[in-house]
Amino acid sequence: MNVIELENVKKDYPLGATTVHALRGVSLAIKEGDFISIVGPSGSGKTTLLNIIGCIDNATEGSVKIHGKEVTTHSDRRLTDLRLHTIGFIFQTFNLIPVLSARENVEFPLLLMKKENLTNKEIRRRAEKLLEEVGLKEQMSQKPFELSGGQRQRVAIARALVTKPAIVLADEPTANLDSETGEMILKQMKELNLLEKTTFVFSTHDPDILKYANGVLKIKDGLMAS
């Protein structure tokens, strides 16, 4: 079953008097449990594509379906709720709330959807379990500025997974990490992918991490290359 479907998606940005065509008609389909890597040179449209899949940017033209439902016509509120319940994000750099501890950052999405049934204890337990899984048992109470870049990225991964989303989007998740940490994080993502059947879509420049992907989408000048 396709969890993500894009059909002839175009995205234009005005840039002064000109228009930048970031995506020129992208079509793709990603199945449940896929571990997909989007590769391409800088400015090829990788981030724009992830943003549109993640419902944080609107396509200028074309169709975007998540779990078979068209999302381009959704209101801001529905898109926000879709992000909360269905999609987990791991951003390249900006990622954590500076005034919350590692554990509180992971709890944050669950607290936003608290009314749905979880108690505070359950929320805490789930956040702590995920932090343990990403190797941050000892850093749970630390604030983001007390953590290294890799540790922050792992907190972001834990946060992205804490709601058990169907889709996790990661924009160059290992870009700011040393190779050892990057490798470790990718292994964790892969494990979760296999265990939870979570669909992972991530962009990367790094050819070494492609070995984890079960599919690679190449993008160039806003078009799928193959």
Select from 16-24, 25-33, 107-115, 178-186 the region that touches another protein (CB under 8 A).
107-115
Q: What would the DSSP string read from start to end of 4-71?
A: EEEEEEEEEEEETTEEEEEEEEEEEEEETT-EEEEE--TTSSHHHHHHHHTTSS--SEEEEEETTEE-
Cα–Cα distance for residue pair 83/100, rounded to 1 Å: 21
CB of 56 to another protein, least distance (A): 4
Nearest CA-CA partner of 39 in 161, 175, 182, 159: 175
Select from 16-24, 92-100, 128-136, 172-180 the region that touches another protein (CB under 8 A).
92-100
Applying the rule CB under 8 A, the residues between 114 and 153 that interact with another protein are: none
Which residues have CB under 8 Å from 175's CB, separation 6+? 92, 204, 205, 206
**108 binding another protein? (CB under 8 A):** yes
Residue 155 near residue 127, CB atoms below 8 Å: no
CB of 144 to another protein, least distance (A): 11
**56 binding another protein? (CB under 8 A):** yes
Applying the rule CB under 8 A, the residues between 14 and 53 that interact with another protein are: 47, 51
Which of 72, 80, 142, 176 binds another protein (CB under 8 A)? It is 80
Task: Give the interface with another protein as residue ranges (CB under 8 A).
Answer: 47, 51, 54, 56-57, 76-77, 80-81, 83-85, 89, 91-100, 104, 108-109, 111-113, 159, 163
